[in-house]
Amino acid sequence: MTLPDQSARDTIANDLDATLFVEAAAGTGKTTELVNRMVALVASGGAELEHMVAVTFTEAAAGELKLQLREKIEEARRD
């Protein structure tokens, strides 16, 4: 099944040289896509985690992003 916004998701995942602004409704996967993008940038050598900034609108969203990023970084290190 292809999602209606699949091309946008593909851009987020693969266009690592672009600066992007992602706007979508709650629960659509923004945090997951952002975390995957950040991990991909670090893995590709395109950025260092210490030099990244992610902006969210609530402390809850920031906490969720931090937890997901930590989990994905640890998962990538194990692999």
pLDDT tens for each residue of 1-51: 888 999 999 999 999 999 888 888 888 988 999 999 999 999 999 999 999
Q: Are 32 and 68 in contact (CB under 8 A)?
A: yes
* Global pTM value: 0.85
pLDDT at 71 over 90: yes
Q: Nearest Cα to 34, choosing from 12, 56, 49?
A: 12
Q: Nearest Cα to 36, choosing from 2, 1, 59, 22?
A: 22
